[in-house]
Amino acid sequence: MSDPIISVEALSKSVTDSTGTLTILRDVSFSLAARETVAIVGASGSGKSTLLGIIAGLDTPSRGTVRLAGQDIFALSEDDRAELRAQKLGFVFQSFQLMGNLTALENVMLPLELAGQRDARARAGEMLKRVGLSERLSHYPKVLSGGEQQRVALARAFVVRPAVLLADEPTGSLDFATGETVMALMFELNREIGTTLVLVTHDQAIASRCERRLNVEAGVVTQAGDEILAS
């Protein structure tokens, strides 16, 4: 059996202010296999987005380890961690996070250019065609619909063929029909490219389409079948 693409080991996150200490995540451990689709679900404030941020190395744990493709990401410097993210991770957010001064094509080209890829324009154009936006290459985000902006964000995430795609409520600001289109594309690209999909969602219908579901409640993580993943 191959090594997991993501391994979370004894992870905890607490924050302290003048009112005391708040525990957001408590002794969380689990692993994810390559190509797996996983939904992280839980009520607002349960810690699911914090967990996603720590997996990405955008936030730091109070205790514990996250390994990405076998590499302990918190043993790296911030610069090395950023480089690993650029090589291995793609991101899709509820708020799209597109660069408003760049066209759709330029937004998708950006991660390829940062990686020094000489064929960035051709690859970006092909990926936008793949998500149905071949007629929108020169359009800026402000003239695109929400669904079109999210498809640009999907193209930008998948164009680097990441080992892992992290998506935080990717349909949260979309209507039902548009959200369905975006999710269908996400799962289709997941199958085609072989990317591990880690999806934070409050939508049970979306969660049910994933192979696994991690439930976050009061900082503790369990999975379907009530197998405890946090001690």
Q: Is 130 helix (H, G, I), strand (E, B) or coil?
A: helix
Q: Tokens representing 152? A: 């640009």
- Across 10-43, b (16+ Cβ under 10 Å) vs e yields ebbbeeeeeeeeeebbbbbbbebeeebbbbbbbe
d(CA 15, CA 45): 14
CB 158 within 8 A of CB 193: yes
Which residue type, as a one-letter code, is found at position 38?
V
Give the tens place of pLDDT for each residue, 173-191: 778 888 888 888 889 888 8
Residue 194 contacts by C-beta under 8 Å, 6 or more apart in sequence? 34, 35
| Mean pLDDT over the full length of the chain | 88
CB atoms within 10 A of CB 69: 16
CB 66 within 8 A of CB 50: no
Separation in Å, CA 177 to CA 40, 131, 149, 152:
22, 16, 15, 17
pLDDT recorded at residue 204: 85
Q: Containing H/E element for 14?
A: strand 6-17
Give the tens place of pLDDT for each residue, 6-39: 999 999 999 998 888 989 999 999 999 999 999 9
Does pTM surpass 0.95?
A: no
Give the tens place of pLDDT for each residue, 97-154: 899 999 999 999 999 998 888 899 999 999 999 888 999 999 999 999 988 998 899 8
Closest CA to 218 of 19, 11, 8, 25: 25
Q: Is 128 helix (H, G, I), strand (E, B) or coil?
A: helix
CB 76 within 8 A of CB 219: no
